[in-house]
């Protein structure tokens, strides 16, 4: 009942720019000749390939074009599975499907270790192991410099009436704690996201010292937060100006931190306690004006 996967992969379909970024770092990007959700990929070779036709766009990851997938003849499909969701029609193509469920890990370094699987698939396991070991060392060095004042931290913002926050047992919750922060949902056992309403979030985190938001195609600002939802101005972090944002369209935020969590940990520590890393500035998050 098992499918054989010949490695290193020569032809592959990749669903996520996150995994393509790691594959690129491992030197295997030339083996990615088909992608889903193509508009989100930022790797120069993928963008160029989409333009000249050497990389196929199979459409949405939720309902990819199975005819295009079959025609591209990938050795394997690297998916980024949704919780409790199947693979749909692609599971009938007799092509090996590899679920990269790294986002379900409970620690940042646990997620980062998945680069070893990509290394094994794309013929550079030793390189992946080296990258991971360097990541562990850098992460632990930064963690030792985390402040001990434990500021309360709120993340994300309301969208269409729903506020998604990381579960208390998620890698993002752990990263906030590793940076010295106090996460309001730390007592929750979920590894994924929690879907909450505004009142629930406000009750739990109205007194947060810092608020981190992510936007897409516009620079985060206090005005934008207020315009999106007037009650956002009620949070203490908003009142004190301790709101930090990142535009994930222009930034490589999503591509970087899953396999290099030390880069995001560094931002958090600089924001929580600048004296911990004197003279250094954040790379992703900027204060919302």
Task: For 89-146, write each residue's pLDDT tens digit.
Answer: 898 899 999 999 999 899 999 999 999 999 999 999 999 999 999 999 999 999 999 9
> By the 8 A CB rule, do 212 and 267 touch?
no
Residue 29 has pLDDT above 70, yes or no: yes
Contacts for 248 with CB less than 8 Å, ≥ 6 apart: 214, 215, 216, 254
pLDDT at 87: 80
pLDDT, average across residues 44-63: 96
- For the chain, the first-to-last Cα distance in angstroms comes to 57
**Tell me: the pLDDT tens digits for 119-129?**
999 999 999 99
Residue 81 has pLDDT above 80, yes or no: no
| Helices 125-143, 261-272: crossing angle, 10 deg rounding | 10
**Tell me: the pLDDT tens digits for 223-274?**
999 999 999 999 999 999 999 999 999 999 999 999 999 999 999 999 999 9
Instruction: Give Dmax over CA atoms of the chain in angstroms.
Output: 59
Report the sign of the C-alpha dihedral through residues 124, 128, 131, 133, in that order.
Answer: negative
Task: Give the whole-angstrom CA distance, residue 18 versus residue 21.
Answer: 5
Query: Which comes out higher in pLDDT, residue 80 or 271?
Result: 271
Residue 83 has pLDDT above 60, yes or no: no
Laid out side by side, the sheet with 210-215 consists of 153-155, 210-215, 243-247, 286-287
pLDDT at 206: 98
CA 31-125-22 angle, to 5 degrees, is 55
pLDDT at 1: 75
> By the 8 A CB rule, do 269 and 277 touch?
yes
**Per the omega criterion (within 30 degrees of 0), is the bond before 64 cis?**
no
Contacts for 61 with CB less than 8 Å, ≥ 6 apart: 15, 16, 36, 37, 79, 80
């Amino acid at each position: 009942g098992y499918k054989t996967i010949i490695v290193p992969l020569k032809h592959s379909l990749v669903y996520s720019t996150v995994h393509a970024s790691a594959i690129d770092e491992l030197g295997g990007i030339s083996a990615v000749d088909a992608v889903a959700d193509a508009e989100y990929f930022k790797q120069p070779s993928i963008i160029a390939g989409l333009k000249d036709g050497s990389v196929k766009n199979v459409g949405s990851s939720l309902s990819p074009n199975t005819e295009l997938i079959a025609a591209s003849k990938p050795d394997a499909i690297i998916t980024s599975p949704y919780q409790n969701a199947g693979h749909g029609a692609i599971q009938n193509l007799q092509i090996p499907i590899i679920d990269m469920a790294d986002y379900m890990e409970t620690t940042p370094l646990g997620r980062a270790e998945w680069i070893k699987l990509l290394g094994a698939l794309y013929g550079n396991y030793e390189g992946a192991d080296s990258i991971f070991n360097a990541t562990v060392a850098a992460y632990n060095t930064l963690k030792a410099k985390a402040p001990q004042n434990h500021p309360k931290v709120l993340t994300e913002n309301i969208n269409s009436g729903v506020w998604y926050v990381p579960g208390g047992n998620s890698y993002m919750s752990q990263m906030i704690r590793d940076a010295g922060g106090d996460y309001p949902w730390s007592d929750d056992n979920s590894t994924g996201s929690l879907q909450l309403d505004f009142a629930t979030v406000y009750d739990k985190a109205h007194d947060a010292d810092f608020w981190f938001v992510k936007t897409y195609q516009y620079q985060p600002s206090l005005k934008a937060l207020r315009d999106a939802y007037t009650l956002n101005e009620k949070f203490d972090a908003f009142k004190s100006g301790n709101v930090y944002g990142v535009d994930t369209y222009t930034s490589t935020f999503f591509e970087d931190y899953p396999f290099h969590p030390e880069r995001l940990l560094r931002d958090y520590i600089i924001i929580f306690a600048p004296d911990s890393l004197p003279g250094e500035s954040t790379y992703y998050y900027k204060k919302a004006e």
